[in-house]
Structure 1
Amino acid sequence: MSGSSAARATASIDQDAEQLRALGYSSNFNRSMSLWENFSLGFTYLSPVVGVYTLFALCLAAGGPPMFWSYLLIGLGQLLVCLVFGEVVSQFPISGGVYPWARRLVGKRWAWMVGWVYAWALCATIAGVAVGAGPYMAAMLGFEAGPNTGIYIALGLILLSTALNLVGTKLLARVAMFGFLCELIGAILVGGYLLIFERHQPFSVLFNTFDIEINGSYLPAFLAASLAGLFQYYGFEACGDVAEETPNPGKRIPKAMRMTIYIGGAAAMFACLALILAVPDIQKVINGEDTDPVSTILNNAFGPVGSRLVMAVVMVSFISCVLSLQAAASRLLFAYARDEMIVGSNLLKRLSAAQVPSFALVVSGVVPAAIVCLGLFMADAVATIVGFAAIGIYVAFQLIVIAALIARAKGWRPSGQFSLGGWGLLVNVAALIYGLGAIVNMVWPRSPDAAWYINYSMILTTVVVMGAGFLYMLLAKPYDKGTAPAGDAWKFSKPAPKAADVAGVPAQ
C-alpha cells in the first residue's frame, strides 16, 4: 500500500470512529473487512447451495418444477426488506444489526424483544444447518450414516466454527471469501455441467404442474413449495452485524446487502434450474418413489468419485455458512451486552486480543450445540426447535420494518449515505405487506393428519419464545439497566425530500 493510500485508509477509519462516537459508542474492533469480504459473509450465511440442496426434494415433491419461480418472487420481496435495512444501517452502522437498529428507531423494550427473537432464531439456524451437513459429510466420505451420526458431525462442525471465529476478523473474512468463491464456482460448474450434459427435461417443464392440486387448486401447492425461497433469502442482514469491522460502513454495507440478494439469488436460481432439468423422472419424485433426487442426479452425472468431490464443495458451503451465522450471533450478543441488556454482560462484551467477542462466540457455539444434543433424546423436539429458525428471523425482520414505519411517523428521514429518498415510505409499506404474507405462508398448517403440535410447530415455538421473552422483560426489566441512546432516530433526520426529488433515482 502506498503512503497516500495508507493515509486515506487511516483517515477513513478515523472518520468511521468519529461517526460511531457521535452515535454514542466507541469500538476496539479491527476495521479490516473489505466490501467483498463483507458481502461474502452475507452470501455464505444465505448460502444458495445449502438452501437449494437441503430443500430441493421436499419442495419439488410439494409443488413440482414451477417451485423454481418462488426464488424469483421471494427474492423481489426480500429485496424490499433489504432496501429498508440499507437505509437504517447506513445511518446506524453499529455492531449487532437488528438489535441496535430497533433501539434507535423505536426504543429499548422494542429492541430487547427484537434481539431476543433474533438470537434464538440464529441459534436454531446454526443447529439446523450443522445437523443438515451430516448426510453430505457421510456421502463425501462414503459411509452409511447411523441415527446419531448427524449429531456428532454437527457438534464437530460447531466446534470447528467456534475455533475459527476465535482467531479473529481477518480469518473470518478470508474463510467467508473462500467459502463464497467455492460455492459460487461450484454452483456454476456443477450447474453448467448438468445443463449441458445431463439435461433430461425441457425448459417448458418449469411451467408443468404435473396435475398437482390441493382442494382443486394448484396455488396452495405452489405456496407450500415456495418454502424453498422463504428459507433461502436471509443472510443479507449479517453484513450489518459486523458494521464496526468494516471501513466506510454507511456506504459499503447497504451495497453488500444488495449484492447478497442479487448474486445469492441468481446462484440459487441457477442451481435450482440445473437440478430440475437434470431430474430423470420428476413424477417419481412427486410420487415419493425418489426421495433423494439430488443424490440421484449427482451419482448419475458424476459417478461415485465425482459426486464425492461435489459433496466436498457442499461441505465447504456448510462450514462457511455456520461460521457466518455464528459470527452474526456473537455480534448480536456483544451489542446486547455492551448496552447492559443481558445477564453476563461484563463477560459477553469483552473483546479478546484478536479483537473478537470471545465469550459471546463461545455462547454462540454452546447454545446451538445444546439444541443439537437434544437429538440424542428427543428427535422431534430438535425438528420443532429448528423449525423456529426461519420463522424467528422473519419475525425479527418485520419488527425492524415496523420499527422503521414507526420512526417515519415520528419524523425520521434517513440521513445515511444510502437513502431511498421519496420512495422510502412506499418501499417500507410494501416490505411490510410482503413480510406479513411470507410469515402467514410459513406458519400455515399443511399436515392435517399430523399431531397438532407438529402441524402448528412454527406457531407454537414462536409463541413460546416470544411469550417467554415478554414475560422475562416485564419481570426483570433488563432493558432498564443500560444508559445507551434509544428511540432517537428522528434527531439524526435530514429534511423531507422536495416534490421534485420524490420521482428521482434513489441515492446510491
Structure 2
Amino acid sequence: MTGPQPAVPAADGAQGEPGSEFRKDMGPWANFALGFTYLSPVVSTYTLFGTALATGGPPMIWAFLLAGCGQFLVSLVFGEIVAQYPIAGGVYPWARRLWGKRWAWMTGWVYMWALLVTITAVAYGAGPYIALLFGFRPTVHTTVLCAAALIAVAVLINYAGTKALSAAAVIGFGGELIGALVVGIYLLSSHRAHGIGVILDSYGAEKNGSYLPAFLAAAIIGFYQYYGFEACGDTAEEVAHPGRVIPRAMRRTIYVGGAAATFTCLSLLLAVTDIRAVIEGRDTDPVVRVLYETMGETGARLVMAVVLISFLSCTISLQAAAGRLIYSYARDQMIVGHRLLRRFSHTRAVPGYALLVAAVVPMLIAFGSLVSADALTRIVSFAILGIYGSFQMVVLAALRARLKGWRPSGEFTLGRWGLAVNIAALAYGVFAIVNISWPQEPQEPWYNDWIVLLCGGVVVATGLLYMFTTHHYGRGNAPAGDAVPAGRPIGASRGGPHP
C-alpha cells in the first residue's frame, strides 16, 4: 500500500480520498441498515430498560424524545461535513479537515476508545439473553464468556468483506423490526397492564425529592440510544454518491431508530405488571419476566433468539466502524503500528489487522469488568461519555471553522440555518456530557461515583501524553485544516496540501 495522498474532488463533487482501496459495494439501503443496526433500538432498550425504570419510573421514556431531538441536530451537522468530506473513519478525518492534525488526533483517540468500549457494552448486554436462550444461568462469568463469543463471531463476519457486512446489516435490520414491532404489538394486544397515562406517573422514583435528578439519571437509556448514525459516514468510501446518500441515511436512522426504540420501550412499560417492584429492587430483570409471563418459555426463547440477532448485528456494525477508524488513523500514520494496521486485504476489501484490534481490545475490557459489581452500567456510561465527547469535538470544530469562513460545499447543506443548528447541537452535547458525568450515587465511595469522569480523564490524559511524546499526529501528509478558506488562515492547525 502506498502512503496517504492529498484529497482531490471525487466523482460526485465531494472531496474524498483518491485511489481508495475500499470497494463501493454498499448500497443506500445497506448504508442506512448499518447505521440502524449500530443505533439498534432493541439493544439499547433491552439492555437498559430495567435500570432506567428502576431509576426514573415510567416517565423515563421521555428521555428518548430529549436525546432524539438533540442528536438529530448533531446528525445535521455531520451530514454537512460528510457530504463535503466522504472519507473512511468518520469523526477523525472530519475533525482533521475542519481544524487540524492535533485536534483530529485527539478526536480519533477518544472516539476509538469509546467505540471499543461500546462493543464491549453491547456484547456484555447480550450475555444474559444468550445464557437464557441456551438454558444456563446468567452469572457474571458466563455473561463475560458469552460477550467474548459474540465479539469473536462478529469479527469473523466482518472479515468476510463489505458484502457480508451489508448482508448482516440488512438481516439485523429485519431482526430489529421483529424485535421492536412484532413483539411490541403482541405485548400491547395481549398483556397490557396499564393505560398510556402511566408514562406520567413516577411511582415514587424520586423518593420524596425533586423528580428531575431521577429523570436525568434514568436518561442514560436515551443517551445510549441515539448514536450509531455516524457509522453511515464511517463507510463513506464504500458507498456510491456518498454526498447524497449518507446525510439522508443519518437522518433516517434517527427517525426510524428513535421511533422503534420509543415504541419498544412503551410496549414493555405497559406490560410490566408490578412497576413498583422494579423501582424497589424486587424485580431486577423486568424484560425477561414480561417475556416469560406473556409468551411462556418457548415463546420467550424465540424472542431472545431474535434479540440476539440484533445484538450480533449491532456488534458487527460497531466493529466495522472501529476497524475503519483505526485503519484511517493508520493510513495517515497517526498511531503506533501504523504499518501493520493500515494493511488491507484486497481479496475481501477489509482492513484485517484494524478489525482484529476492534475484537481483541473489547474482549480484554469484558474480562477486566469482572472486578466491578456494576460493570454494565459503568461500561455503558463511559461508552456514552466517549462517544458524545468525540461527537462534540467535531461539532465544535465545525462551529470554529464556520466562524472562520467555512461554508459547506457538499451536496447537503443547511444554508442560513447552519450556524444556529451548529450552536444548538453543541449546547445539547455539553448538557449530555455533564449529565452523564455527574455523580448519581453519593453514598458510594468517591472513586466509584466519579468513575466515568475519571476514566474519561485517563483516556484524554494518556492521549495527550502519547500525542506529544510520539508526534504521530504530524507524520502523515493528508490534508488538514483546509476547510477554512485560504484567505482566512487557521494558523498552526493547518497542515498538508489542499484539494
Normalized against structure 2, the TM-score is what? Answer: 0.93
Hey, what does 1:181 align to over in structure 2? 174
1:13-52 aligned at under 5 Å gives the runs 16=10, 23=16, 25-52=18-45
Is residue 2:337 matched to residue 1:344?
A: yes
CA contact (8 A) 1:99 1:115 kept: yes
In the alignment, which of 256, 259, 268 is matched to residue 261 of structure 2? 268
1:454-465 aligned at under 5 Å gives the runs 454-465=448-459
Residue 478 (structure 1) shift: 0.9
1: distance between equivalents of 2:143 and 2:350? 29
Residue 405 (structure 1) shift: 0.5
Hey, what does 1:221 align to over in structure 2? 214
CA contact (8 A) 2:89 2:325 kept: yes
Hey, what does 1:490 align to over in structure 2? 484
1: distance between equivalents of 2:374 and 2:280? 25
In the alignment, which of 416, 425, 430 is matched to residue 436 of structure 1? 430
Per-residue Cα deviation, 1:437-466 (whole angstroms, up to 9, x for no partner):
011111111111111111001110010000
1: distance between equivalents of 2:238 and 2:65? 32
1: distance between equivalents of 2:79 and 2:256? 17
Hey, what does 1:371 align to over in structure 2? 365
Change in CA separation of 1:418 and 1:74 when aligned onto 2, cut-off 3 Å = same
Residue 213 (structure 1) shift: 2.4
CA contact (8 A) 2:34 2:169 kept: yes
Hey, what does 1:57 align to over in structure 2? 50
Q: Percent identity?
A: 56
Per-residue Cα deviation, 1:24-72 (whole angstroms, up to 9, x for no partner):
5420211011111001111111111110011111111111111111101
Hey, what does 2:101 align to over in structure 1? 108
2: distance between equivalents of 1:34 and 1:300? 41
Letter in 1 for 2:409: S
1: distance between equivalents of 2:108 and 2:408? 22
Per-residue Cα deviation, 1:321-345 (whole angstroms, up to 9, x for no partner):
1100000000001110111101111
Per-residue Cα deviation, 1:305-325 (whole angstroms, up to 9, x for no partner):
000000001100110011000
In the alignment, which of 232, 235, 238 is matched to residue 245 of structure 1? 238
CA contact (8 A) 1:91 1:415 kept: yes
Hey, what does 1:138 align to over in structure 2? 131
2: distance between equivalents of 1:73 and 1:365? 32
1:109-508 aligned at under 5 Å gives the runs 109-213=102-206, 216-352=209-345, 353-376=347-370, 384=378, 387-491=381-485
Per-residue Cα deviation, 1:79-129 (whole angstroms, up to 9, x for no partner):
000100000000000000000000000000000000000001111111111
1: distance between equivalents of 2:367 and 2:205? 38
SS of the residue 1:396 aligns to: helix
CA contact (8 A) 2:97 2:482 kept: yes
1: distance between equivalents of 2:281 and 2:371? 28
Aligned length: 479
Residue 133 (structure 1) shift: 1.0
Letter in 1 for 2:390: A
Change in CA separation of 1:433 and 1:282 when aligned onto 2, cut-off 3 Å = same
Letter in 2 for 1:477: H
SS of the residue 1:389 aligns to: helix
Residue 375 (structure 1) shift: 3.6
Change in CA separation of 1:316 and 1:414 when aligned onto 2, cut-off 3 Å = same
Greater alpha carbon shift after TM alignment, 298-307 vs 386-395: 386-395
Residue 23 (structure 1) shift: 4.3
Residue 387 (structure 1) shift: 3.6
Letter in 1 for 2:295: F
Greater alpha carbon shift after TM alignment, 329-338 vs 363-372: 363-372
Greater alpha carbon shift after TM alignment, 85-94 vs 449-458: 449-458
Residue 146 (structure 1) shift: 3.5
CA contact (8 A) 1:385 1:461 kept: no
Letter in 2 for 1:284: A
Residue 211 (structure 1) shift: 3.2
Hey, what does 1:8 align to over in structure 2? none
CA contact (8 A) 1:24 1:484 kept: no
CA contact (8 A) 2:115 2:318 kept: yes
1: distance between equivalents of 2:116 and 2:211? 35
CA contact (8 A) 1:98 1:396 kept: yes
Change in CA separation of 1:265 and 1:175 when aligned onto 2, cut-off 3 Å = same
Residue 490 (structure 1) shift: 2.5
Contiguous gaps of at least 5 residues in structure 1 = 1-13, 494-508
Per-residue Cα deviation, 1:120-154 (whole angstroms, up to 9, x for no partner):
11111111111111100011112212331111111
Letter in 2 for 1:169: T
Residue 287 (structure 1) shift: 1.3
Letter in 1 for 2:137: E
2: distance between equivalents of 1:371 and 1:379? 14
Residue 433 (structure 1) shift: 0.7
SS of the residue 1:489 aligns to: coil
RMSD of aligned C-alpha atoms? 1.8
2: distance between equivalents of 1:478 and 1:386? 30
Per-residue Cα deviation, 1:148-185 (whole angstroms, up to 9, x for no partner):
11111111111111111011000000011100111112
CA contact (8 A) 1:16 1:247 kept: no
In the alignment, which of 32, 52, 74 is matched to residue 67 of structure 2? 74
Per-residue Cα deviation, 1:401-454 (whole angstroms, up to 9, x for no partner):
100001001100011101100000000000011110011111111111111111
2: distance between equivalents of 1:18 and 1:486? 21
Letter in 2 for 1:489: A
Runs of 4+ residues deviating >4 angstroms: 14-20, 376-386
